[in-house]
Amino acid sequence: MARIGLLRHGETTGSGFRGSGCDDPLTVAGEQAMRAAFADSGPWDRIVTSPLQRCRRPAERFAQVAGLPLQSEPRFRELHFGDWEGRTAEQIMQQDADALGRFWQDPFGCPPPNGEDLARFRDRVLEGWARRVVTPGDRVLVVTHGGVIRLLRAHLEGQPLEQLLAIEAPLASLHVVEVAG
């Protein structure tokens, strides 16, 4: 078995939909929350991180402090929200409530306008998972985003991927899973 920790980044300085098109730094509170989650986790053999700075920078610090190898995995970037990047749900509701409602009801069938298709998102995340993370007996901390965590949990827990938006993944939360290598 492999023990995998999925750690979501903390609060960022940006607001609204923050996908792979936004690369905001963490707030001080976001950094503190991630440090606390990391301190209560482990032990780990290595760390894999999204290349976006809200994940990469704390992962670099964790790896340095713990003396662990660090790998950047571009396939663990957040979903790209297209025209919705940087906009709040309230702003989108004012201009295109129907599109947002369709996305919440059917994220695979109704992606954000000019955004990443969820089937493509699923395929890239699962490819990164298969190539970088699961090694028998390994203990890996993956520092990534809410969408990636929701998708991986749905996949691993046998939940319908169409309902991944219902899976909880709060900021700076750690989700530990054990999987066959």
Is the entire prediction scored with pTM above 0.75?
yes
Convert the pLDDT of each residue in 47-76 to its tens digit: 999 999 999 999 999 999 999 999 999 999
Report whether pLDDT(181) > 80: no
Q: Which domains does the chain have, with CATH numbers?
A: 2-179 (3.40.50.1240)
Q: Where are the alpha helices (DSSP H) in 19-88?
A: 28-39, 53-66
Convert the pLDDT of each residue in 88-117 to its tens digit: 999 999 999 999 999 999 888 999 999 999
Q: What percent of the chain has pLDDT over 70?
A: 99
Phi, then psi, of 65 in degrees rounded to 5: -65, -40
Given a contact cutoff of 8 angstroms between Cβ atoms, the answer to whether 9 and 144 are in contact is yes
Of 139, 152, 172, the closest CA to residue 28 belongs to 172
Given a contact cutoff of 8 angstroms between Cβ atoms, the answer to whether 148 and 78 are in contact is yes
Convert the pLDDT of each residue in 149-158 to its tens digit: 999 999 999 9
Strands 46-49 and 139-144: parallel
